[in-house]
Chain A
Amino acid sequence: DSGVTQTPKHLITATGQRVTLRCSPRSGDLSVYWYQQSLDQGLQFLIHYYNGEERAKGNILERFSAQQFPDLHSELNLSSLELGDSALYFCASSGGGTHTEAFFGQGTRLTVV
């Protein structure tokens, strides 16, 4: 058990809908990262939050947004969903800094039908 909790584990929704993925980082970790894993794109970095502030954005679509709350949990909001958004979405947490490990949650498998 990595200590990072993601909910839900599976999500099936229709095109055009909006969903929220939730992540609770390991106790004490201030950094939360979101990644998307699809067969054709591999593991793509979406966004990084540190202690409530956005630190970096990667290949995140404008239809997607995220935030980190004062209790350090994070949510990834995906709207106007398309079939191509079907993927495994991971949250990872770390204590911060280049030389600290990042631990991943079990992922949320999103299927858009």
Chain B
Amino acid sequence: AQKITQTQPGMFVQEKEAVTLDCTYDTSDPSYGLFWYKQPSSGEMIFLIYQGSYDQQNATEGRYSLNFQKARKSANLVISASQLGDSAMYFCAMRPTQGGSEKLVFGKGTKLTVNP
């Protein structure tokens, strides 16, 4: 079965510093997608970044980058130059291809607090 593990229930970072949010996954699927979403206190789910299992390069989107280590089955999110508006829940998700469905499997999330 596919599983996403986020071991950090909460993280704190100072404004303007970088922070890494951990994510490990478990799948026997050779092809899968990895995603990160941000959920601010207002509740919406905001897509941040995507990494394909066959991608050679780590994905980057502005201040977000994904540190993809396939052998370790990890897909950590790095946020550079943290801003107060980055305070939110962050969810790692995987989309495997087993079972014929393209559903996203989510981790339990990490609550990030950015301090001024």
Contact = CB atoms under 8 A, between A and B. Distances in A.
A35 B33 CA distance: 18
Majority DSSP secondary structure for residues of A touching B:
strand
Give chain B's interface residue range (CB within 8 Å of chain A).
20 to 34
A101 B45 contact: no
Contacts of A94: 102
Q: What range describes how many residues of A lie at the interface?
A: 20 to 34
B84 interface: no
Interface string A100-113: 11111111010000
Interface in A44-102: 45, 48, 55-56, 58, 88, 90, 92, 94, 96-102
Interface in B80-116: 91, 95-97, 99-106, 108-109
A103 B45 CA distance: 8
